[in-house]
Structure 1
Amino acid sequence: MKGYSRFILLKLLTFLLIFSSGITAAEVKKASKGQVTLVYVEWSSEIASTNVVKTILEELGYKVEMLSVSAAAMWQAVASGDADAHVAAWLPSTHAHYFEAVKDKVEDLGANLEGTKIGLVVPAYVTINSIEELNANVDKFQGKIIGIDPGAGLMSKTETVIKEYHLDKFKLIEGSGATMAAALKEAIRTQQWIVVTGWTPHWKFSRWQLKYLEDPKKIYGDEEYIGTIVRKGLREDMPEVYHFLDNFYWTTADMEKVMIWNEEPNTTPEENAKRWVNENRDKVAKWLSFNK
């Protein structure tokens, strides 16, 4: 619940800033159509999608607050009504346990991107092709599987993989998407063997030659999708926001383009989201084509 406590603290700080500046809540609301709170996890895919959604909502006249939290806190914040939505539900497998815990308290708007995948990833020069071959090569991998943040569904799946494939000599290293990518970059630079927790879409597949290790036991599941989850009552409170989020749907190529831009120097995710929106007005128009 560490991420959720951080979320509540940020909400309190926002209130104190408004109070100390002498601006009333009514004046804040009057300045826009209202405030929309989006929660997300700092994975490259969700940074891309949440910033695109934020850009479009701001163009519609809403004040948008983006809060970075853990995966568990992201789901809980929408379920409790403290946040309006997230566009980062990896289903039906990766986030299944989060969804099951709150499914009666949220509304699932379905997929916003299809064709995702999770698993263990190695550079193409690594000469094994299956998770079953890891134990025979534990020394080459220095006994490590490089992971991401501990609250991620991908990490819990990988813990199950370690158990089911009897990878007892391997240690799952916690970190973040950024530290995982940095470790992968360094290993490839020196042509060392490395195995990381990976997912698609991700910019690393455009930058390097990589491959997923086969998962004969299907613990990581088959192809997944990323879905949109909103709080109960959003449709009645903010119908325009609700219908846009219900229509929001893009492709892996769309998302990967924004993720690659985000890796370029001297840019920000917000700037790149605006760039993508400006270059894809036809797609955005379809998302906004509903009866208001």
Structure 2
Amino acid sequence: MDFKKLKMMGLALSMGAMLAACSGSDEGETKKETAGDSKEPATSEESKKINLAYVEWDTEIASTHVVGKVLEDLGYDVTLTPLDNAIMWEAVANGEADAMVAGWLPHTHASQYDQYKADLDELGENLAGAKIGLVVPSYMEDVNSIEDLADQANKQITGIEPGAGIMAATEKALTEYENLADFELLQSSSGAMTVALDQAIKNEEEIVVTGWSPHWKFASYDLKYLDDPKGVYGGEETINTFARVGLEEEMPNAYKVIDAFHWTSADIEEVMLEINGGVDPEEAAAKWVDENTEKVAEWTKGIE
């Protein structure tokens, strides 16, 4: 499949969401190139062009820009390509993108993982302790479980991009929980969802949103996850790294960095807060890399 078409498909699918989003844009790309130009035929020397795909969630904007900055400092010509979630997985599986550090498992991206895992090089987790679920402001004191929802927030749940794993889980929740039968799941974007959350909190209004952590909103607002007694949203998750088959042989040093990349919720939330505060993703990533040289040295150990 031609990658330019893939990218155009991804952008078309997410165009409405991107217009509303307040975080993540093409401004964050390290290089403005087409993905088709991002790789050269393998030679005796390692290629210095690498393309990292990512979905435009706050977590993935932060992590991908940090990895991209580390590779750039090692002399790589880095392209960061935002794609629709499903197309991101397809692009890496097809070898049209080199890698991604944005796979949420075992629940959020379960369907994409099952579909593409045979064609991917799975490098393991890069962040532990992730979680998804329904989230409300803590001042909604009478709501602590999904089963407590009745007519709050006009029976609406503010979601993110269609096709996201948390949206599929929430659609399932609408059928699993009888009290949610009349609730409506609003398609939006991660940025538009946080705008709606901010406005509701400023007015002390009721709101129910699809939430995940790590995310800067938990540091900015007093929020709580609703208990999920039916286990629709699963338990703790990890964010995982995947590469195209053959990357290790063709770009061994870049592969080592991507494979070694691992950080904490505190690390990623630091970058996300900077970006949410108006700092360009590239600048926020560069600042974190400069201030965390010991951790970066662990990722680049043994690379000449």
State if a TM-score over 0.5 links the two structures.
yes
- 2:35/2:97 contact within 8 Å kept: no
Q: What's the CA shift string for 1:131-166, capped at 9, x where partnerless? A: 0111x2x2x311210000002111101111111013
Write out aligned runs for 1:253-264 (5 A): 253-264=266-277
CA distance in structure 1 between the aligned counterparts of 2:36 and 2:164, rounded to whole angstroms = 32
CA distance in structure 1 between the aligned counterparts of 2:34 and 2:156, rounded to whole angstroms = 44
CA distance in structure 2 between the aligned counterparts of 1:163 and 1:9, rounded to whole angstroms = 30
Aligned to 1:279: 291
Runs of 4+ in structure 1 displaced over 3 angstroms?
Answer: 3-6, 13-18
Q: What's the CA shift string for 1:236-264, capped at 9, x where partnerless? A: 00000111111100000000000001111
Structure 2 gaps of 5+ residues are 11-31
Q: Shift of the alpha carbon at 1:34?
A: 2.0
Write out aligned runs for 1:131-210 (5 A): 131-134=146-149, 136=150, 138=151, 140-166=152-178, 167-210=180-223
CA distance in structure 1 between the aligned counterparts of 2:259 and 2:82, rounded to whole angstroms = 22
CA distance in structure 2 between the aligned counterparts of 1:180 and 1:149, rounded to whole angstroms = 10
Aligned to 1:233: 246
Q: Shift of the alpha carbon at 1:79?
A: 0.4
Aligned to 1:82: 96
Q: What's the CA shift string for 1:188-234, capped at 9, x where partnerless? A: 01101100000000000000100000000111111110000100000
Q: Shift of the alpha carbon at 1:290?
A: 3.2
**Of 49, 61, 69, which aligns to 1:35?**
49
Residues 17 and 57 of structure 1, relative CA distance in 2, 3 Å threshold: closer
CA distance in structure 2 between the aligned counterparts of 1:42 and 1:102, rounded to whole angstroms = 20
Residues 111 and 16 of structure 1, relative CA distance in 2, 3 Å threshold: closer
CA distance in structure 1 between the aligned counterparts of 2:138 and 2:6, rounded to whole angstroms = 39
Aligned to 2:107: 93
CA distance in structure 2 between the aligned counterparts of 1:16 and 1:72, rounded to whole angstroms = 17
CA distance in structure 2 between the aligned counterparts of 1:14 and 1:50, rounded to whole angstroms = 16
CA distance in structure 1 between the aligned counterparts of 2:136 and 2:223, rounded to whole angstroms = 6
Write out aligned runs for 1:66-81 (5 A): 66-81=80-95
CA distance in structure 2 between the aligned counterparts of 1:231 and 1:160, rounded to whole angstroms = 31
Aligned to 1:112: 126
Q: What's the CA shift string for 1:92-145, capped at 9, x where partnerless? A: 1111110000111001100000000000000000021000111x2x2x311210
Aligned amino acid, residue 281 of structure 1: T
- 2:66/2:285 contact within 8 Å kept: yes
What root-mean-square deviation, in Å, do the aligned CA atoms of Structure 1 and Structure 2 show?
2.4
Per the normalisation by structure 1, the TM-score is 0.89
* Percent identity of equivalent pairs: 47
- 1:108/1:230 contact within 8 Å kept: yes
Corresponding residue SS for 1:109? strand
Structure 1 gaps of 5+ residues are 19-24
- 1:4/1:70 contact within 8 Å kept: no
Q: What's the CA shift string for 1:12-37, capped at 9, x where partnerless? A: x956998xxxxxx79xx9xx942111
Report the number of matched residues. Answer: 275
- 1:33/1:63 contact within 8 Å kept: no
